[in-house]
Amino acid sequence: MLILSRTPTAFLAILSSVFVFACSGAANDNTLPPDKGDVTMVTLVENLDDPWGMDFLPGGDLLVTQKTGRLNRIDGRSWTSAPVSGLPAIAQKAGQGGLLDILVHPDFATTRWVYFSYAIADGDTYTTRVSRGRLEGDSLSDVETLFTAEPFFKTRRHFGSRLLLDNGYLYITVGDRANRDLAQSLTTHNGKVMRLFEDGSIPADNPFVGDETARPEIWTYGHRNPQGMAQHPVNGSIWIAEHGPQGGDEINVLSPGSNYGWPLATYGEEYGGGKIGQGTELEGTVQPITYWVPSIGTGGIAFYSGDEYSRWQPSLLVAGLKLTRISRLELAGDGVGKEYRILDESKLRIRDVQFGPDGRLYALAGGDRLVRLDPVR
């Protein structure tokens, strides 16, 4: 059995180039087939305070972040929860900011490293920061800052903040911070995906290293608010989910140095109506492999290629905040095929999805709980 979540296994390698697949919009929401009868939802933990990110520790315990600045370690057998101490200062519930993603090092048993992203404040301005610390029991130590997005802004939206580790590289998403035009500027971190070494240093082969007009951490640009990131289980490419405006949520495949169009090219429109940019396509920008109109409010994503859920092989699971569901996209070669709805009858906003060591799908739902989707035999 092979289970792939957003934390990739060591044997996967990033391709030196990725193909850009033809873009196909999702079907009208009312025509999408449900996965009714395939799963049943079990609530494991309640009374969480706006949970945002999660990752499993060896042995099955789960780390869950909350936007209030709290990190909890949840026992994977009893589902009891304990707070983790040792976090740095966090701008708690700063609009869409707070304590955001969490990522366990693939060699945690040796390194004890845990990576996390969060909002920080400087007076009345805010930005995204990524740090790591060593976890022993319920306490973090040796906490060090790896990355701070520049510049700070008074706006408290679009922090991005998904993390991914692969073969010694750390990938970080940062939203446009509601300053959309800066997503096209290589002088800021707004609307970008960054690539660092896992210790925070900058790889010499990053696409803009040596360019005095660009930030050397930048891997890709032209993003709005990427809140999902995962690695393809076969070809090793990195996919992100971008939260669009009114419509225009996207799934994109990252290729170093590429421009993904925001806000010059988008399938979304202004809230309340009105064109954004120059249309849906623009020379020099990369098309998404799929997009949603209307928006589903994309959150976290996870690939699946196992045998626990018999009809899901292989799929991409996409958390939906606006349309309160999980979208399951069948994988078709290196692209996507048919889409199905999961949990749409629950009316719960889904923030993050991840497969556990037991092969089951876990989700942060409803702004206050951890749930598991058990297959119905």
Q: What residues are labeled active site?
A: 158
Residues 6+ apart with CB under 8 A from 132: 105, 113, 114, 115, 116, 143, 144, 146
Most distant CA atoms of the chain, gap in Å: 58
Residues in the chain: 377
- Which residue is it, tokens 């060593």? 134
Which residues are registered as beta bridge partners of 320?
298, 325
CB contact at 8 A, 154 and 126 = yes
- Paired tokens of 192: 């970008």
Q: Which two tokens stand for residue 276?
A: 């954004």
How distant is the alpha carbon of residue 177 from its chain centre?
Answer: 16
Residue 14 has which token pair? Answer: 């990033």
Could you tell me which residues come within 8 angstroms of residue 122 by beta carbon, excluding any fewer than 6 positions away? 152
| Strand stretches in 70-124, DSSP E | 70-74, 81-83, 99-104, 113-122
**Token pair recorded at residue 253:** 């495949």
Q: In angstroms, rounded to a whole number, what is the distance separating the alpha carbons of residues 205 and 196?
A: 10
Q: Is 160 helix (H, G, I), strand (E, B) or coil?
A: coil
For residue 103, the SS3 value is strand
DSSP state of 215: -
Residue 292: CB partners within 8 Å, gap ≥ 6?
25, 26, 244, 247, 248, 249, 250, 298
Separation of alpha carbons 270 and 277, rounded Å = 10
